[in-house]
Structure 1
């Protein structure tokens, strides 16, 4: 049975999740390039759970509260990573790209995005969808420059060819994109609070119609990762958020000496305790990223088994507590 976190537990988690100092208001290639080697694990949100005021909250030291985001029913957890274009079937169409963003397990659901990252900018050279509809840029679409400072803005032109399938050209398109770094501060997501976050707002015009497209991206300034993204193109709207935990909880918080292995977990894991606490003193709970307790077990001996019991793939918060409900250790477990 799923149970909600108690207020005491919520406060404990909040104290773990918060506490970073604002590190700076400049996005640099050195920091941003860290994201190229990491998996971006995202939830696809119900667009109605996105608060529109987030888009217009700008300035220095602001707070964006997106804790109310919920997952769109029936959508999978998406694990995106940057790979060499040569690892994909369409690399020859995008010779100027040096990275491709995709989920290798979901290529029938989400397509490939071909980008060029270099020390002064990020530009998109095209994308290829599962339906075989795709786009190829003759003049790339620049999304970011380095360094990029709070209050700075730039405009760049693009040109591309759109294909309705693998061979049929549907249209030629030109336009411009204006990108503005118009806010920094604190972002609250369902799983915790992130400090040192930048809001990058983009407006794209196009030659095929009067409507502009809007994109709002909240980046972790320290490593470039996308934390929240809202894309609005006419009636087509997409909202996704990074479901990873804030920095502090990425490292296990220990009051007692223990190990959990393996992690990530396929079916079962072992909790090994080396502690002065007696067996009856300890319990372990798992929480999903919306704060529901989805698993609980007593730690009855030095080695206790965590059984997956049908829990879906994804990231979970574990908490080891004493019988007085004192939180002794908190960290993350991944089921894959």
Structure 2
């Protein structure tokens, strides 16, 4: 199985752009900020990607991706990092400490399973909506911390591929070479962002042609702004879809509190007044880890009651919308 899934495109994760600090080094401290945010992204029409962007390297460069357009019929994705044990197949990836996916779109994207520590980010596998999956015996190292402009590293990997939930397909092994190849300004359809790093990857494998991945990250917070993946003619392109104003503004104001969490009695959602705008509908939606919408609750004031009797024990994802725009998301547990 030659994996080329949307989550890899969307990984590293995706999409809160910070104020410019002119720092070129990708550090764990900054990167880890993406682990608590929601990644909102569009799947692009591949033909609207400018191929020359992959070759623009060095310091102080500009990448113009303003011509990107959405691929017809594809949904907007809201991806989050969650506990692997809260996903249906997390037990297969015992070394991971994060699962990455969109619980409301599990028919479109599956879950990536990562181990993210202070020195690196490695992949332990992926489980697709089709039940095809891969499990690494020697994980695939995607980033190191700190990572400096013009630095390159190589890493070996070994994995087992399955064509469905229980059918062995193949063993796959090879080498990944990762280079921090550019630093500068990225222009997306909605505007320009500074302090962006281009990470270029080449992966060899024993089963077929090499694959190529190009990822533009925000240096200040580790969020992916644009990614292009090419694997033997299978090409996918994804970009951050948030408005520049929404992205640059600090999103900490958008956090909501849940008390208690885990929920063992009725609970309250505490929502900052700044999020409840006059004449705009604010709605809290709760999804199961399988992507089923469980509840949709209109928000009219800063405290909203959530009755436990409407939720079975388990893990859930909540998303807060204002005029159909995603403001924030998080996880809750019911015991």
CA distance in 2, matches of 1:190, 1:163: 38
Q: CA deviation at 1:192?
A: 1.4
Q: For 1:162-219, what per-residue CA distance to the aligned partner results, in whole angstroms no more than 9, with x for missing partners?
A: 000001111000001000001000001011111000000000000012x110000000
Question: What does residue 237 of structure 1 align with?
Answer: 235
Q: CA deviation at 1:268?
A: 9.4
| 1:179 has 2:178 as partner | yes
| 1:261 has 2:261 as partner | no
For residue 224 of structure 1, give the secondary structure of its aligned residue in structure 2: coil
Which of 220, 223, 229 pairs up with 2:221?
223
CA distance in 2, matches of 1:60, 1:198: 9
Question: What does residue 33 of structure 1 align with?
Answer: 32
Q: For 1:72-112, what per-residue CA distance to the aligned partner results, in whole angstroms no more than 9, with x for missing partners?
A: 01000000111110110111100000000000000111111
| 1:207 has 2:206 as partner | yes
CA distance in 2, matches of 1:264, 1:212: 48
CA distance in 2, matches of 1:137, 1:206: 14
For residue 75 of structure 2, give the secondary structure of its aligned residue in structure 1: coil
For residue 35 of structure 1, give the secondary structure of its aligned residue in structure 2: helix
**TM-score scaled by structure 1?**
0.71
Q: For 1:279-298, what per-residue CA distance to the aligned partner results, in whole angstroms no more than 9, with x for missing partners?
A: xxxxxxxxxxxxxxxxxxxx
CA distance in 1, matches of 2:222, 2:85: 24
CA distance in 2, matches of 1:229, 1:56: 14
- How is 1:159-178 mapped onto 2 (pairs within 5 angstroms)? 159-178=158-177
Structure 2 unaligned blocks of 5 or more: 1-16, 252-272, 284-296, 301-321, 329-335
Question: What does residue 71 of structure 1 align with?
Answer: 70
For residue 244 of structure 1, give the secondary structure of its aligned residue in structure 2: coil
Q: Is the 8 A contact 1:173 1:206 kept in 2?
A: yes
**Residues 39 and 251 of structure 1, relative CA distance in 2, 3 Å threshold:** closer
CA distance in 2, matches of 1:127, 1:259: 38
Q: CA deviation at 1:245?
A: 3.2
CA distance in 2, matches of 1:189, 1:269: 33
Q: For 1:223-275, what per-residue CA distance to the aligned partner results, in whole angstroms no more than 9, with x for missing partners?
A: 000000111111211100011233675269xxxxx9772477349999xxxxx
**Residues 234 and 31 of structure 1, relative CA distance in 2, 3 Å threshold:** same
CA distance in 1, matches of 2:325, 2:124: 31
Question: What does residue 269 of structure 2 align with?
Answer: none
How many residue pairs get aligned? The number is: 254
**Residues 142 and 69 of structure 1, relative CA distance in 2, 3 Å threshold:** same
**Residues 19 and 129 of structure 1, relative CA distance in 2, 3 Å threshold:** closer
Q: What is the root-mean-square deviation of aligned Cα atoms in Å?
A: 2.5
Question: What does residue 130 of structure 1 align with?
Answer: 129
Higher RCO by CA contacts (8 Å cutoff, separation 6 or greater): 2
Question: What does residue 268 of structure 2 align with?
Answer: none
- How is 1:1-336 mapped onto 2 (pairs within 5 angstroms)? 21-209=20-208, 211-246=209-244, 249-250=248-249, 261-262=276-277, 265-266=282-283, 313-314=324-325
**Residues 269 and 249 of structure 1, relative CA distance in 2, 3 Å threshold:** farther
For residue 33 of structure 1, give the secondary structure of its aligned residue in structure 2: helix
Q: For 1:24-57, what per-residue CA distance to the aligned partner results, in whole angstroms no more than 9, with x for missing partners?
A: 1100000000000000000000000000011001
CA distance in 1, matches of 2:169, 2:188: 39
Q: Is the 8 A contact 1:22 1:185 kept in 2?
A: no
Q: For 1:5-31, what per-residue CA distance to the aligned partner results, in whole angstroms no more than 9, with x for missing partners?
A: xxxxxxxxxxxxx99545211000000
